[in-house]
Amino acid sequence: DADVTQTPRNRITKTGKRIMLECSQTKGHDRMYWYRQDPGLGLRLIYYSFDVKDINKGEISDGYSVSRQAQAKFSLSLESAIPNQTALYFCATSDPGQGASNQPQHFGDGTRLSIL
């Protein structure tokens, strides 16, 4: 079983719809992240959470919101989807326990989202 699970894996929807992408992890990590990946632009951070009560905006948070329902669950919502939000979305986790700087992030398999 995957340590970081994203659902759905693929989604096609229409402009204006509300969409939720879900991420759950069995690694026991406190820190969770949402990224989007676009061709030529690399991974860009949308939101991140260092524990259940801590939510922070990343570099491209406009048009998105998140919810940290539990240590293991971190959801990303698009309240009213628009075509330029078509992208590959990744959830990631990391463990701050031994010093945050050298702990790698562990990624889920991604959600491919297309907005028509």
Partner 1 sequence: GQNIDQPTEMTATEGAIVQINCTYQTSGFNGLFWYQQHAGEAPTFLSYNVLDGLEEKGRFSSFLSRSKGYSYLLLKELQMKDSASYLCAVNPGNTGKLIFGQGTTLQVKP
* Footprint on this chain of partner 1 (rule: CB under 8 A): 4, 31, 33, 35, 40-45, 48, 50, 58, 90, 94, 96, 100-110
Shortest distance (Å) from residue 40 CB to partner 1: 6
Gap between the Cα atoms of 30 and 94, Å rounded: 7
Shortest distance (Å) from residue 112 CB to partner 1: 8
Of 15 and 56, which CB lies nearer to partner 1 in the complex structure?
Answer: 56
Shortest distance (Å) from residue 66 CB to partner 1: 15
Shortest distance (Å) from residue 45 CB to partner 1: 7
Of 14 and 99, which CB lies nearer to partner 1 in the complex structure?
Answer: 99
Of 84 and 101, which CB lies nearer to partner 1 in the complex structure?
Answer: 101
Burial of 7: CB neighbours in 10 Å, binned 0-12, 13-18, 19+:
middle
